[in-house]
Amino acid sequence: MIALGLEQNMAGPRIRNEADPVALEEAALVDQARGGDLAAFSELVRRYERRVYRTARHIVQNDEDAEDVLQEAMLKAFEHLDSFQGNSKFYTWLVRIAVNESLMKLRKRKSDRSVSLDESIETDEEPIVREIAVWDDNPEQRYSQTELREILDKAIDSLKPIFRTVFILRDVEELSTEETAEILGLSIAAVKSRLLRARLQLRERLTRTFKRKGDQILGYV
């Protein structure tokens, strides 16, 4: 089972990038919050709550559960600040807690029959090479940005959690492969494998969507 997401103590001194003023400012806020400064913790929450909520929303797929996840993640982060040693970015540590809370939400849904993210997976998965139709038109020329966002969000939400979560962390939140692997408790190879499958599935579903919508438009001409 994936751990709560509380960073384990590691040997050696904590390393900070002295040349990065943003990292130094964040480290100072964390130290102040660890000392009981609620204003400092509130500033950390302000910086990351929208990104954490967006990640949770993509995983749990409804606003109410995403709000619950956000609140629980922030509360647990505050309660366990002493466990954060600074060996990774604060956001990486925070989103790890949020992802774990999101997966717990999914497990509690009796109707959810998907495979949990902590279940082992073979990285040499079955061949996934397939014929994918080429988009005849540039989608950006046919649809507005709002329509494209709605189409993409719907396609992402249709992915199974084991693929959706990896895609969100890597391609939406733009975390590194290493950070994603750390957050989910997976090997780097497993992250790469799941990300590839997620991207291919999205491409296939978006292709079908654009083709179907194109046919509908042509039907009115």
Q: What is the pLDDT of residues 170-220, one digit of tens each?
A: 998 889 999 999 999 999 999 999 999 999 989 888 888 877 765 443 343
> H/E/C letters for each residue in 134-163?
CCCCCHHHHCCHHHHHHHHHHHHHCCCHHH
Q: Domain of residue 75: give its range.
A: 21-108
Q: What is the CATH number of the domain that holds 154?
A: 1.10.10.10
Q: Is 214 helix (H, G, I), strand (E, B) or coil?
A: helix
Is residue 119 included in any domain, yes or no?
no
Say if residue 39 is in the same domain as residue 92.
yes
pLDDT digits (tens, 9 = 90+) for 83-108: 888 778 898 999 999 999 998 988 88
Residue 115: other Cβ atoms inside 10 A: 11
Question: What pTM was computed for the model?
Answer: 0.63
Start-to-end CA distance of the chain, whole Å, equals 55
